[in-house]
Structures are given as structure tokens and as C-alpha cells.
Amino acid sequence: MLDDRKLAVLRAIVEDYVSTNEPVGSKALAERHNLKVSPATVRNDMAALEEEGYITQPHTSAGRVPTDKGYRLFVDRLSQVKPLSAAERRAIETFLAGAVDLDDVVTRTVRLLAQLTRQVAVVQYPTLTRSTVRHVELVPLNDRRVMLVLITNTGRVEQRVIELPEVVEDTRIAHLRAVLNACLDGCGLSNVPELVADLPERLPPEDRPVVATILSVLLETLVERHDEKIVFAGAANLAGADFSTGLRDVLEALEEQVVLMRLLGETSADTPSALTVRIGSENPYLRGTSIVATGYGSGDNQLARLGVLGPTRMDYPVTMGAVRAVARYVSQILAAS
């Protein structure tokens, strides 16, 4: 376990290296930071930190740079993340509040995160399986065709056009709409199949073929994997970044939705709602990068995850503060929609 003085030296090394992208020497460290010890003591502490694997010397006669282990300790010992200014918070709230639907919320969120952190922002769409039914709409298109519109509590909208087995008047469609909403309003989407299993049998015989057709399309909509969707922005922020894995690997990972899904999944393994930081070798699918992520949603109803991906040389206090703040605002907007 490091004592407070060595922790202060490590913190100073991380801050300087993140700021300058240059290996940090003992003399510069003593001059720039109020460590209250001599440069000789700083050199001794740096030697001890290097011996324990928290920092390393990239080449002879150079200063020191943090290792993954050093960044890990730095993040774990952060006294606080950097809070956003009042102006930044107002700007976030105003920008996100202008969204017109879920797609717009996700698009605005990913752009905002990329701008705030200067990293690659990643946002996962809310999963259908964790959502509840807010409303089911049946819109007559002609006498044998209707549009099924499923609206969830997350603002997600799924639409399907249904060919009916017979001519159905608008009054019957209105009645069936009321029946479906009475049955499904507020229920979890994963519970829908069970709730509608015997619904046709509870209706008059003349309505059963039509209802069976509508329910078939509704259930097909629920099982389709639309939730395996991720949006990212800020790839241009990678220009000039240092990746031990190589920029090509990172860019390929951004194109592969599966890799991004796995990276976000790893960050939710313990506590879905917690702010999680995975550094370097802790990311089995993309070593040499760091990812800061958290869940968004209300309470135990964590809908999905969002975060940023970048090099291990990342301003962690700023990034963690931005990810946490944006997730909070997104959660509030979706809860109120």
C-alpha cells in the first residue's frame, strides 16, 4: 500500500502526463506541484513507484509515464470527479430537452458526450426487453390493412403494417385497440406473450381471427433484436491519440457493433447503474484503451448504457464527471417523456 506522499507523486505524474503527453521528470514535478519535499525525495518516490509497477520509463534518460496499474490506482483514489460548471449543466439540459423522440435523444447524447470529453462517445439504445408498454395504437389504412404502433415507456416506437384476414370496420378497430391497451398498458414487454396468450379466446368469435393476426405481428416485433444497437460519435477525436493496440484496431472495433456491445457489457458486470472505468488490459476485447461508462434509466430500471472510449492517457476526472452528468439528464428526459 502506498503512503500519502507517494500517492501525491503518482497523482501529479498522471495529471502532468495527461496534460502534456510528455514523460514526467522529477525536477519538473517538484517545480510544478506543491509536494513539500525536495527533488531528491521525489526521485526516490518515483523509483519506488516504478519498482511497484505504477509508472515506467519509456526509454533511457526520459521521465516516467503511468502504467495501467498507475491509472487504476489514480482512478480508485480520486477524491471526486470534476463537476460540470453551471453553464455546462444548463447547456446540456437545454440541448437534450430539445429532442423530439428517442432517436433524437440518442443522437444528441452521443454528439454531446463526444464534444464534452473529446473522446469517442458510445450510446446503447434502450433494450425492448427492459421496457414497458405505454400505448398500443391501431391506425386503419384501408378496410383490410392497419398500422400497429407500439410505444414504450422509453419513448421507443415500433411500427408494423398488418394485412388483415377480412374487412374490418373502424369501429371494430377502435374496440380492439381499447382491448389491447387495457390488457397491456404498463406491462413489461417480456411479459406480453403470457398476457396475450388467451386473449383471442376472451373475445367474440368474429374478432378472433383479426386479433390473432395482430397479436402474431406484435409478438414478432418483440422478439426481433432491435436492442442490439449502438451509436457512436467523435471518431475524429482519435486523431493523434496514443493507443498501444494501434489506431487501426480501435477503428475496426468501432465498426464492429459486437465489440462495442461486449465492451459496454463488461462495464455492467457488477452494478449496472454504477459509473465504471475499465483501463487498458482490463478491456479484454480492446486492450490499450480505456472506457468510462454508466447505465441510464430510473432506479432499478436501467435501460441501457452510455460512455466514452479513448486512450489510457485520458482526463479521467473530467470524463467521469461528464459521463455521469449526461446519463443523469438522459434518464430524466426519458422518465418525463
Mark which of 54, 76, 98 sits at the end of a domain: 76
* 231 plus 122 within the same structural domain: yes
* 231 plus 105 within the same structural domain: yes
Residue 306 has pLDDT above 90, yes or no: yes
Among 37-51, 122-136, 225-239, 275-289, the least confident range = 225-239
Residue type at position 236: A
* 136 plus 212 within the same structural domain: yes
CATH of the domain at 113: 3.30.450.40
| pLDDT value of residue 227 | 52
Mark which of 168, 190, 223 sits at the end of a domain: 223
* 214 plus 285 within the same structural domain: no
Q: What angle do CA 191, 328, 112 make, to 5 degrees?
A: 110
Domain that holds residue 59: 4-76
Residue 81: inside a domain: no
| pLDDT value of residue 47 | 92
Residue 235: inside a domain: yes
Residue 171: inside a domain: yes
At 320, is the pLDDT very low, low, confident or very high (cuts 50, 70, 90)?
Answer: very high
Domain count across the chain: 3
Residue 305: inside a domain: yes
Mark which of 206, 223, 240 sits at the end of a domain: 223
Q: Residue 259, exposed/middle/buried by CB under 10 A (0-12, 13-18, 19+)?
A: middle
Residue 23 has pLDDT above 80, yes or no: yes
DSSP lists the bridge partners of residue 71 as none
* 184 plus 155 within the same structural domain: yes
Edge-to-edge strands of the sheet including 276-279? 230-233, 120-124, 301-311, 289-298, 276-279
